[in-house]
Structure 1
């Protein structure tokens, strides 16, 4: 006799009543979702839990409704990624991370790009979740920063994991990336090199990450008595073209900045182009430090100094948080990620 069977009390059951999935969950002392996973042969259930649930199902002769089981099956094996991010590389890295987690599990990934500025934004998200009967959703910035989305998914009883620069939800449904500390590291690096006239190109103000990275950058400068003047602080769009346009404006200022911190690598690549067009060398005339440390960063010339945010790993952990057995103890995977500055050849002491 197994330990699970030995510890289970003898069942007392009214044979005239047909058992329900709620009865199985109560008697097995697990959630309804876990029973559903056992019925649908999900791999994400502990062996002893699976044995206990199956034993009760067999003893009571429980047979799930075929139509309801079909709906549960579709819900149980589809994960959604809902995003509104203008950086293609960020999205690709996030996708790869989620696919790393679901590969071989029987789950599939569905992608839903959206527009937060659209009047139909919430209706579109609702339609996506309801049509696909999603098992759960991964929501990166800036969608993750919208409390309306979290409320909507809670209303729909759809599990989610939010990714953001600060803690926005319970630890089992959110990942924190500490963007402010990354901006701080970028500032300290430039200060230590001796730069005093520095500029910043941030992401859109609709992204909390843009505020966090800019705030951390200001704090890092302030520690050495420096300030980020308003005319040296421009708002980009996390895109290559916005990096070009903002850099061109900064190059017309007097004095011209000797260093620029960009909110992501896409905009840094735009700064590289604007600098080349203006006849400026990197890092001889201009130091550039960026954020994300995407695969683009080491491929630029010169290789780009960037704050590393392991986006692919974050995507993988987010998906694993959705897939873990709700009856199991919390996973050992981190719910917080600390950014790390990776110094390369795009930064040097000012001329």
Structure 2
């Protein structure tokens, strides 16, 4: 009886409808404020936030998740050997989710498995995800995108070329950026330029190779097959691939490696061979990871705006999740740019 009287004396718990009424705005507007949507003007946001503070209103995430049929979780799905790329993408996503009710869930997969689609379907279903960010090469799988759409799971695909509609895509201009990097080597006087390509089946590897070949063709420079070595986006594969290039006679005066890990492998192999960088060999990588400034000489590289791309991907999902995806003004195309450091110089003999 005492507990019943105490309950009767308590003020009813505030709801989102109460906050909307006090602020003289719609329930949807209050939801936007709670979810930190970028679509509100400052005056409206400040008014609603002030009422939330004054009343001590606390949103009920369980109730909201139940009503929407989803949890406040963003999944990151990947099968990628580049650990630094994964970490940078996580950083960008977490920056976007900071201050919201959303959390990040990581899911590595094996793209070579016959069960990969079932694995991802089960992940989405069990976690009741708000949305998924797909990293390459998984993002390049059109069947996976269709499956997510059929499951009612929002998704954004990251890639080195446009793969989908803007609301489902963040892409970079890898081909053009690599062509610019190789043009820089050519302008320095290099004519015998080696390529360490990325893994087969990766669209990024294809785009970067096409950019490399485009720059050489523009300059009228032939590209013997012997100057192309296959890599796997790992330090070890860069080391192995560079050894085959160094065995050529004459050997290349410059090498473009399709990511920084492999470029670092080239630098290491050159030191082991007594090949001076940049005096006897120029090197350019791709990504602009912290590694490039922690080796000597610091590596020239193409800066890939991976953190910004991750941030944009997450914001696209959050906007879509609250019914405003088509209005979220996040870019879908990002420009990679050449960063010139001490690993490039004119060849000793032009």
**What TM-score, normalized to structure 2?**
0.81
Q: Which one of 335, 341, 349 corresponds to residue 338 of structure 1?
A: 335
Match of 1:177 in 2: 172
Equivalent position SS for 2:211: helix
Contact 1:193 1:348 in 2 (8 A): yes
CA shift in 2, pair 1:154/1:223, >3 Å: same
| Residue number in structure 1 paired with 2:128 | 133
In structure 2, the CA distance between the partners of 1:272 and 1:177, relative to structure 1 (3 Å rule), is: same
Q: Using a 3 Å threshold, how does the CA distance of structure 1 residues 40 and 301 change in structure 2: closer, same or farther?
A: closer
TM-score in terms of structure 1 length: 0.81
Shift of the 68–156 alpha-carbon distance from structure 1 to 2, 3 Å rule, reads farther
- Structure 1 runs (4+) deviating above 6 angstroms are 45-50
- The equivalences for 1:284-299 within 5 A come to 284-299=279-294
Unmatched runs of 5 consecutive residues or more in structure 2: 1-25, 46-60
In the other structure, the counterpart of 2:203 is 208
Shift of 1:89: 0.6
User: Following TM superposition, by how much is the alpha carbon of 1:347 offset from its aligned partner in structure 2, in angstroms?
Assistant: 0.5
Check if 1:235 corresponds to 2:230.
yes
SS in 1 for 2:77: strand
Q: Specify the SS of the correspondent of 1:163.
A: strand
Q: What secondary structure sits across from 1:243 in the alignment?
A: helix
- Residue 118 of structure 2 corresponds to residue 123 of structure 1: yes
The 5 A counterparts of 1:37-186 are 38=31, 42-44=35-37, 71-72=66-67, 75-186=70-181
Determine helix, strand or coil for the equivalent of 1:160: strand
Per-residue Cα deviation, 1:87-126 (whole angstroms, up to 9, x for no partner):
1110110000100000110110000011111111111111
Q: Match of 1:301?
A: 296
Question: 1:318: which partner in 2?
Answer: 313
| Whole-Å separation in 2 of the counterparts to 1:226 and 1:47 | 54
Unaligned 5+ residue runs, structure 1?
A: 1-29, 51-65
What's the CA shift string for 1:220-243, capped at 9, x where partnerless? 111110122211111100000000
Distance in 2 of aligned mates of 1:169 and 1:235: 28
Quick check: 2:167–2:326 contact (8 Å CA) kept in 1?
no
Shift of 1:318: 0.7
TM superposition shift of 1:69 = 5.5
Give the length in aligned residue pairs.
Answer: 304
Is the contact between residue 65 and residue 72 of structure 2 (CA under 8 Å) also seen in structure 1? no
CA contact (8 A) 2:254 2:282 kept: yes
User: How far off is 1:46 after superposition?
Assistant: 6.3
